[in-house]
Homo-oligomer: A and B are copies of this chain.
């Protein structure tokens, strides 16, 4: 059972309530986010809690397990905007563009990519150093060396880094290099990991599980929020269905649906969502038309030789038409691409 404390509470009143809980041996747990306070207790103590002197500061009781709270728009009506070194993710006036290779392969690959991103004034680069691959005999990523390469090149090109953490034991290391931590589709329901991840102060891009219902996705976000990290970015990347002509089925309807249910930013990943290069730009446009706050895509200087995801990576030359198409759709919904913003955080 969850007690939501009235917003206009007095800290003293909360302290008094806690004291009473302690006094009457009522098990409880405090969580804070967005300047509000929840107390989590057990349903069997309901009557005892309501009989406390300070119970008047309780706004609402919610049965445990039934719903997400911090993640809901009912709880926080205003849109959440997450600042990443001066650029907001989730800003209703802009569409964020994130681009980069699936895996960091070597310096030259990343240098060519970063130059092209900079030419388009793109603010965010993606690129994995630890890769979750279906076969143990596939390329598993460069590890620390990959993180070093992407950090150095990002710093030289005014780029913010989004990169994946694949295990609890790697959180500290990845935090040294990344600006945004990505939780991959296969980890969306590793709740222990999510709780550990929430202890960092980095924004967390939470990819939807390829097999996850929308409610499960929001409850995964709730794990992070209720563990104290309020900077969650949701990412729709396609779900697994019976149709196997494409790699995944992109659930475009989930974008406006989640935006109505939650205040968190929602971005789209049409590269994984389709698995096919020619569909990336049309689906990026469709996502923006449906209300996505941003789009993350894979590009590669030489997709034919990519160590992973080559078929779904745009050629660098295709960034022109990609930017042209997405900015036209963004304009149709009264937004601009964030590539139109002139803000440099760290240009050497």
A25 at the interface (CB under 8 A from B): no
Among A128-170, those with CB < 8 Å from B are: 130, 132-138, 140, 166-170
- A 201-213 binary contact with B (CB < 8 Å = 1; else 0): 0000000011101
Stoichiometry, as copies per complex, reads 4
The interface stretch among A16-24, A114-122, A282-290 is A282-290
Cβ–Cβ < 8 Å partners of A137 in chain B: 2, 40, 64-65, 226
**27 A-B residue contacts at CB 8 Å?**
A65-B133, A65-B134, A66-B135, A68-B135, A132-B191, A133-B191, A134-B216, A135-B219, A136-B219, A170-B192, A187-B190, A213-B244, A214-B243, A239-B241, A241-B241, A242-B244, A246-B257, A249-B253, A253-B279, A256-B278, A256-B282, A256-B283, A282-B290, A283-B290, A285-B290, A289-B329, A325-B333
- Decide if B136 touches A226 in the complex (CB within 8 Å): yes
Residues of B within 8 A of A94 (CB): none
Q: For residue A348, give the distance in angstroms from its CB to the closest CB of chain B.
A: 33
8 Å CB contact of A252 from B130, B136, B240, B286: B286
Contact of A135 among B64, B246, B260, B287 (CB under 8 A): B64
Contacts of A257 in B (CB 8 A): 245-246, 276, 279
Given contacts A65-B138, A329-B289, contact A192 B252 (CB under 8 A): no
Task: Report chain B residues within 8 Å CB of A254.
Answer: 243
| Measured CA separation A66–B134 after assembly (Å) | 9
A253 & B250 in contact (Cβ 8 Å cutoff) = yes
Cβ-defined contact, A242 with B245, below 8 A = no
A55-68 interface code vs B (CB 8 A; 1 in, 0 out): 00000000011111
The answer for the CA separation of A256 and B274 in the assembled complex, in Å, is 11
Binding site for B on A (CB under 8 A): 2, 40, 64-68, 130, 132-138, 140, 166-170, 186-187, 189-193, 195-196, 209-211, 213-216, 219, 222-223, 226-227, 239-246, 249-257, 260, 273-274, 276, 278-279, 282-283, 285-291, 325, 328-329, 331-333
- Contact for A168 among B67, B168, B241, CB less than 8 A: B168
Q: Which residues of B contact A276 (CB under 8 A)?
A: 257
The smallest beta-carbon distance between A35 and chain B, in angstroms, is 19
Contact of A169 among B169, B242, B273, B282 (CB under 8 A): B169
CB distance from A261 to the nearest CB of B (A): 9
Look across to chain B and name the residue whose beta carbon is closest to the beta carbon of A217. Answer: B243
